[in-house]
Amino acid sequence: MQTVALRRTSVVGARLELLVLAAEPRGCVAVDLASGAFVRARYPIDQWVPLAPFDVAVAEIAEAEHPADVSRPESIDLAAAPARNGRMSPRRAERWLKALHQPRGQVVLGFPGPAAPYWTLTGDRPSVTLVDAPVGLHAVRDPEGFRVRLPWRGTRLDLPLADHHLAAALDDLGRARIGSGDLQRVLGFRPKRVLAVLTPPFRGYCYKVAAALLPTR
């Protein structure tokens, strides 16, 4: 089972340089370029500036406003939303990302099935991972939005799509199934990697979702 091994600094006031993988108004999932560790950053919603995957941004660690969250041990509070100061190519980003992918012989995020009871989580395993999908990645519409599907360990990994911007673009296609070619046209690249994350608890459970679809080098 994967464990939370890489550690970034937690010193209040320390400056982080982040490789952004997924972002929304309340937070982002990124890699701390100093340590190579995943970060799930939270920041004031009124200061958010849109960020895209592979943007490089800087931010300052703030006093924690929330108690430690065992469902998201990578979480950190920032004084302000990260400020973009550059961009990294997928090829260069592999230096950091190759160490963070989900081991092929293990279940995604350390447990089978789509969700885990919150009370079973202890904060000793990641809530973020990268799942390689060299073939077979596609999306399907369901009553609640879209789901991302791909072959995994002789079966199928099936994750709700949590990227609302991408979901809106897929909705415009008006199709029930979106293959890899259509995904490439919408995204501008052929997606070969899924950023899988664990949600905060909802009705006692934390769910696996696809936060972003990403290229490889």
**Alpha helices (H) in 30-163, listed in sequence order:** 90-97
Measured CA to CA, the distance from residue 27 to residue 42 in angstroms comes to 4
Query: Other C-beta atoms within 10 Å of 160: how many?
Result: 17
**Structural domain span for residue 171:** 96-214
pLDDT at 56: 98
CA-angle at 138, arms to 26 and 188, nearest 5°: 65
pLDDT in tens, 49-85: 889 999 999 999 999 877 788 999 999 999 999 999 9
Answer yes or no: do 183 and 122 share one domain: yes
In a domain, 31, yes or no: yes
Answer yes or no: do 141 and 205 share one domain: yes
Measured CA to CA, the distance from residue 213 to residue 198 in angstroms comes to 15
Count structural domains, the chain: 2
pLDDT at 68: 80
Answer yes or no: do 68 and 107 share one domain: no
In a domain, 80, yes or no: yes
pTM of the model: 0.93
The backbone region for 215, taken as left when phi is positive above 0, alpha when psi lies in -120 to 50, beta otherwise, is beta
Name the nearest CA neighbour of 163 among 197, 128, 129, 126.
197
Percentage, residues of the chain above pLDDT 90? 72
Give the pLDDT band of residue 9 (cuts 50, 70, 90). confident
β-pair partners for 209: 197
Answer yes or no: do 80 and 122 share one domain: no
Answer yes or no: do 201 and 109 share one domain: yes
pLDDT at 5: 53
pLDDT in tens, 13-25: 999 999 999 998 8
